[in-house]
Structure 1
């Protein structure tokens, strides 16, 4: 069973990698959730596609480098980095950051709970501090966000 759950999650990452939003949504149970812990927002239903769409817009070359995958019961934990070039507007709950042209390599930890071969919950823990520092806005957050 562990190998199967790992395969399901690796497939989900591949679907996100090619920016297949309907395919990504289909990876989730009907009541599945995606929580971006760096901004404190939980997406449900078709909304689970929004973070993938948002990051694809901001980082069209987004690549998720998977380092380690751990499976225990119905839980899969993945250590990874989010990599890309900031070429479009990054829209966050607190505002938007215009393209900076900067490259990111943001450490992240993802925790998935699966049910019947689908993602029931996905808690994404990207390092928001590292992301903001790499985009060059950490020391001037107020000026960086368009209101």
Structure 2
């Protein structure tokens, strides 16, 4: 399922690459709206949500949101993650690069009865674009953000792109 989603993403975006793309357009095109969004400014103000990073490990190691827990995407293990999340009502925010993979992970959590799941609108790219801090694997603030590839990197407009 995840491999076919990524293939779909690349094919769909490849066919529309001539058109001017933006984070809102990509999210509208690729997401189903099954997981409510939270905006960077609102997440920044939240008190102690659980934050899950749905990117690949190498992306997470370059930078992530403060106190984020890496759950991955290709290696995501729903049973392992829910063992770490005893409260199904506590606020959980899932993010990825722009918010597509995180919707899929949020859907899986919702299917297990979690009721307070949010998808970070625009993911870590929009978070960094808005000037909020990211941290490296040693928990030091950094300007680096893994931009996934050349295509996706166009959506990161603030910070140092790493591939």
TM-score bracket for the superposition, by shorter chain length:
under 0.3
Q: Which has the higher helix share?
A: 2
Instruction: Report the TM-score when normalising by structure 1.
Output: 0.28
